[in-house]
């Protein structure tokens, strides 16, 4: 008996491309399922809405406003001042008045810094001449006081003139509690004779 000969194909075996299983529409035509997701779909971005701890506190601190305070100093012109108006020092003092740096005024807080326990930073401004009527000479300085400065406990005064002057009083106007009146009635020496500033307390 002759055995049938089996011939093997020389072509390599092809792996069929697997397609998803079709399903039948009501019309009887085969169709492939369509998936809603695709490679071109952009992922949704997640957005978190919230606030940082302490943000409300920082906003509240911004609402605290500074206080504009005007200081008016009254200097009395004496007989000694009248006769000392003649000379080179008078000319130098006139230039000092012209540049608005007659008196250096320094506000000192009555409170200590709660964080450090030390004195708070003082506020310095120059007072310039604004009026001269009779024996009264008026000088003025404008301050911007921060909300945490507290009450004024004392005032430093430095005389930028070459001759001493008689300071009658200092009035600080602009505080919510009302004007602060400081009675001095004292001679203020020139800084060129003595570098030490004069100190006057508000109480």
Among 147, 175, 143, CA closest to 70: 143
Query: CA gyration radius for the chain?
Result: 44
Domains assigned to the chain: 66-201 (2.60.60.20)
The answer to pTM > 0.85 is no
With beta carbons less than 8 A apart as the criterion, state whether 150 and 171 touch: no
Segment 181-195, tens digit of pLDDT: 999 999 999 999 999
pLDDT one-digit tens code per residue, 133-144: 888 999 999 999
Digit-coded pLDDT (tens) for 9-39:
444 445 444 445 554 444 555 444 544 444 4
- What distance in Å separates the CA atoms of residue 111 and residue 69, rounded to the nearest whole number? 18
Spatial contact of 73 and 140, defined as CB atoms under 8 Å apart: yes
- For residue 46, what are its two tokens? 């997640």
Residue 43 confidence class, pLDDT cut points 50, 70, 90: low
* C-alpha angle 149-154-160 in degrees, rounded to nearest 5: 110
Q: Is the pLDDT score of 179 beyond 50?
A: yes
74 by Cβ neighbours in 10 Å (0-12 / 13-18 / 19+) ranks as: middle
């Amino acid at each position: 008996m002759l055995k049938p000969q089996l011939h093997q194909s020389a072509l390599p075996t092809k792996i069929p491309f697997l397609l998803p299983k079709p399903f039948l529409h009501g019309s009887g035509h085969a169709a492939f399922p369509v998936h809603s997701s695709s490679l071109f779909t952009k992922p949704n971005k997640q957005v978190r809405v919230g606030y940082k701890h302490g943000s409300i506190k920082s906003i509240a601190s911004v609402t605290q406003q500074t206080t504009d305070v005007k200081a008016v100093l009254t200097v009395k012109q004496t007989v000694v001042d009248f006769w000392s108006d003649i000379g080179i020092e008078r000319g130098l003092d006139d230039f000092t008045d012209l540049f608005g740096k007659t008196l250096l005024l320094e506000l000192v807080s009555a409170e200590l810094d709660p964080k450090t326990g030390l004195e708070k930073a003082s506020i310095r401004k120059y007072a310039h001449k604004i009026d001269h009527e009779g024996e009264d000479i008026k000088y003025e300085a404008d301050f911007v006081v921060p909300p945490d400065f507290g009450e004024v406990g004392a005032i430093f005064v430095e005389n930028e003139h070459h001759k001493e002057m008689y300071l009658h009083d200092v009035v600080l106007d602009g505080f919510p509690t009302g004007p602060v009146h400081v009675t001095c009635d004292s001679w203020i020496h020139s800084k060129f004779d003595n570098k030490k500033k004069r100190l006057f307390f508000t109480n």
